[in-house]
Amino acid sequence: MKYVGRLLGLAIMLSAPLANAGDINLKLAHSWPKDFPIFGTSVDEYAALVSEMSDGKIEIKVDSRNKHKSAFGIFDFVKSGQYDIGQSASYYYGGKDPDTLFFTTMPFGMTAIEQYAWFHEGDGLELANEVYAKHGIQVMTGGNTTMQMGGWFSKEINSVDDLNGLKMRIPGFGGKVMAGVGAVPTNIPAGELYQALERGTIDALEWVGPSLDLRMGFHKIAPYYYTGWHEPSTELMYFFNQEKMESLPAWAQSVLLNAAKLTGFNMTIESQHESSENWHAMSSEYPNIEVRDFPTEVMDALRASNSALLEEEAARSDISKRIIDSQSAYLKKTREWTAIGDQSYLNNVGSK
Amino acid sequence: MKYVGRLLGLAIMLSAPLANAGDINLKLAHSWPKDFPIFGTSVDEYAALVSEMSDGKIEIKVDSRNKHKSAFGIFDFVKSGQYDIGQSASYYYGGKDPDTLFFTTMPFGMTAIEQYAWFHEGDGLELANEVYAKHGIQVMTGGNTTMQMGGWFSKEINSVDDLNGLKMRIPGFGGKVMAGVGAVPTNIPAGELYQALERGTIDALEWVGPSLDLRMGFHKIAPYYYTGWHEPSTELMYFFNQEKMESLPAWAQSVLLNAAKLTGFNMTIESQHESSENWHAMSSEYPNIEVRDFPTEVMDALRASNSALLEEEAARSDISKRIIDSQSAYLKKTREWTAIGDQSYLNNVGSK
């Protein structure tokens, strides 16, 4: 065939058989129900973007958790090669590898733009890939919720004492920080949250922020909406099976990684938009919602609890220490700029 | 040839002659000197990304202003088809079409993430394309400086009176706002700015922010660094010759537009990073720099001057009114969210 090709002056075409339509067929699994707003629909947009930019040469079949039945199985799916690509949140996989914890968001940590700078201009993505390489996975940032709210509370929190024994749905590292000040963190499936709050099984819960909270209806039964501290910039992540990636031509790897990065930025922008729309709707339609900041005393206690936990984490391994040091140094420097940049601006000309 | 192809089972390859390497060759002009940090280097990254994702099928030759000699000629270059693509700032072209003014940043306007939401989830990009379509140009967001600082002043500004007769380098709409409170705005080429400030030809100037100010050295002679108000989110823009774009296959248009959008987001992240690094360097090495907020009285006067100018602009045409109304409505809604999101967070756990 190659000879015939050369004879007909078709050598270039023959040497690029991967350039045929649909030649690269990939399977992707994400953590969300089918058509789940923002988190899930953004993955459908990813597949469409990859197909469009590659002129149909790369086609991605997207499976939601309705299909694969395992919201928290994405890490294993991609590690094993059962799926080529995954989209989920890194911190769901602390049980698989405790160092995956750091690549979503950290209490008292960076905001979305600060954390993106750490990932892509600092050494954040490099450190994430160092952690994931041990599992044969390559990663890319996948979209940010922007600031998550501190949660919905049935009662006002005026002191650290008010947190003592408080039953709150708050999973992950934020939950551990809460436990450090005497609260009782629990995790409850999304579908049971409203009833748990209504019946007093829990006194408080955090979900996301206005972008996804409105449809949950928590404001009807727990009117105190506290501002954020525990997840200032929750970043989703794309996982790629390393072996599969390396089997693909360079242009296809580039399309897959850059389309993921772009889709992630698009999702971040969409989160800002949806939070704006939904917060406006909530605050106009439900004037009983009371936005509250935690008192300084409470913030100080939470910060101390957080620092103690980070010290434990840093003592765990060489890489956990390097990640925590990198985040802490980056945050310090970038916040100095944010303080005289966006923060001063918002305070001087802001919403007043 | 088509018959031979079918005979050999090569019909698909023969029907896609555009898939040959370097088949689409495009010329791009940008406004900056060769290798100009962030603004210029980001365009070189754009060309590399397009080439990589298209497997060399689209090659872009980038000309800096060292080559084409016309920093502010980008609009005409792309309109006439002399260049296929351009990268510049929309507000440089108010002389060509006053409605281009609105698509970079506005005094007292949206921050970077808020404005991105307006462009891509609100109707910002649609309105921009409506304005540019009249000139045969299609546009895409191209990268944000993040917050620009209010500028370097030799003396403190304690009242509106202190602005009276103050000679300041501040071009564009911000300059008009300053004129409205009695200042004397001027524009001076970048290369002469330092000397003008040193010799007292001007009393103050605004440039960008820490990301690009450090190398200019203004902090050595004008120690008061005022926080921002006039350019909260300066967005660069990619221009595409519409006729040329429409002659390209859909996948190529998609690669060109999406790579521009991604390069823009990357540049925004880089601006955050460089501002963090450079502000840290400046504030450590030059402790004489005094960061100042304008007093409330001054901010109120500037805002009143801005509102009066916007009213004039809105009266100018149907589309200017629609753009101003769209920005104002979007800002109001999205700032309500920012206020309880990022702003509350930064104030509660921020840099203190």
Q: Is the CB of B294 inside 8 Å of chain A's CB atoms?
A: yes
The band of A31, judged by pLDDT with boundaries at 50, 70 and 90, is very high
pLDDT of residue B7: 36
> What's chain A's average pLDDT?
92
> Model confidence over A212-239: pLDDT tens digits?
888 899 999 999 999 999 999 999 999 9
Mean pLDDT of B303-325: 97
pLDDT of residue B254: 98
pLDDT(A2) > 70: no
Q: How many residues does chain A have?
A: 352
| Structural domains of chain A in order of their starting residue, each with its CATH number | 2-146+233-273 (3.40.190.170), 148-231+288-313 (3.40.190.10)
Residue B85 β-bridge partners: B28, B240
pLDDT of residue A135: 98
Q: Is the CB of B351 inside 8 Å of chain A's CB atoms?
A: yes
Q: Which residues of A touch B117 (CB under 8 A)?
A: 269-270, 272-273, 276
Shortest Cα distance, chain B CAs vs residue A262, angstroms: 5
* Rounded Cα distance, B294 and B225, in Å: 10
pLDDT(A19) > 50: no
pLDDT of residue A236: 98
Structure tokens at B40: 């210029």
Structure tokens at B203: 């009393």
pLDDT(B2) > 80: no
Q: Which residues 150-189 of B are in CB contact (within 8 Å) with A?
A: none
pLDDT(A15) > 60: no
Q: Is B343 within 8 Å of A343 when comparing Cβ atoms?
A: yes
Q: Is A146 within 8 Å of B121 when comparing Cβ atoms?
A: no
Mean pLDDT of A193-211: 94
Shortest Cα distance, chain B CAs vs residue A93, angstroms: 27
The band of A352, judged by pLDDT with boundaries at 50, 70 and 90, is very low
Q: Which residues 320-339 of B are in CB contact (within 8 Å) with A?
A: 330, 333-339
pLDDT(B6) > 50: no
Q: Is the CB of B48 inside 8 Å of chain A's CB atoms?
A: no
Q: Is B228 within 8 Å of A344 when comparing Cβ atoms?
A: yes
Structure tokens at B43: 């365009």
pLDDT of residue B12: 39
pLDDT of residue A212: 87
pLDDT(B8) > 90: no
> Model confidence over B81-112: pLDDT tens digits?
999 999 999 999 999 999 999 999 999 999 99
Residue of chain A whose Cα is closest to the Cα of B269 = A117
Question: Helices (DSSP H) in A97-160: which residue ranges?
Answer: 112-120, 124-133
pLDDT(A211) > 90: no
**Do residues A293 and A226 make contact, with C-beta atoms less than 8 angstroms apart?**
yes
- Of the partner residues B4, B10, B339, the one whose CB lies closest to the CB of residue A351: B339
pTM equals 0.93
pLDDT of residue A187: 84
Closest CA to A202 of A213, A193, A189, A190: A193
Mean pLDDT of A165-186: 95
**Do residues B121 and A38 make contact, with C-beta atoms less than 8 angstroms apart?**
no
Q: Which residue has the tokens 């299909």?
A: A67
pLDDT of residue A8: 38
Closest CA to A119 of A335, A339, A319, A331: A331
Q: Is A111 within 8 Å of B53 when comparing Cβ atoms?
A: no
pLDDT(A18) > 80: no
Look at strands B24-30 and A290-292 and give their pairing: unpaired
Residue A13's SS3 state is helix
Q: Name every residue whose Cβ is closer than 8 Å to that of residue B122 and which is 6 or more positions away in sequence.
A: A273, B326, B330
Torsion, Cα of B45, B48, B49, B51 (10° steps): 160
- Of the partner residues A228, A251, A259, the one whose CB lies closest to the CB of residue B345: A228
pLDDT of residue B9: 37
pLDDT(A160) > 60: yes
Interface test with B, best of A2, A53, A268 (most B CBs within 10 A): A53
How much of chain B exceeds pLDDT 70, in percent? 93
How much of chain A exceeds pLDDT 70, in percent? 93
pLDDT(B22) > 80: no
* Rounded Cα distance, A182 and A348, in Å: 37
> Model confidence over B225-253: pLDDT tens digits?
999 999 999 999 999 999 999 999 999 99
Top pLDDT among A5 and A280 is at: A280
Q: Is B108 within 8 Å of A54 when comparing Cβ atoms?
A: no
Q: What angle do CA A164, A165, A168 make, to 5 degrees?
A: 105
The band of A330, judged by pLDDT with boundaries at 50, 70 and 90, is very high
Question: Residue B188's CB: how many other CB atoms inside 10 A?
Answer: 15
Q: How many CB pairs under 8 A join A and B?
A: 244
Q: Is the CB of A54 inside 8 Å of chain B's CB atoms?
A: yes
pLDDT of residue A21: 52
Q: Which residues of A touch B229 (CB under 8 A)?
A: 345, 348-349
Closest CA to B276 of A123, A122, A141: A122
* Rounded Cα distance, B287 and B293, in Å: 17
- Of the partner residues B56, B345, B348, the one whose CB lies closest to the CB of residue A111: B345
pLDDT of residue A183: 97
At position B95, the amino acid (one-letter code) is: G
Top pLDDT among A190 and B333 is at: B333
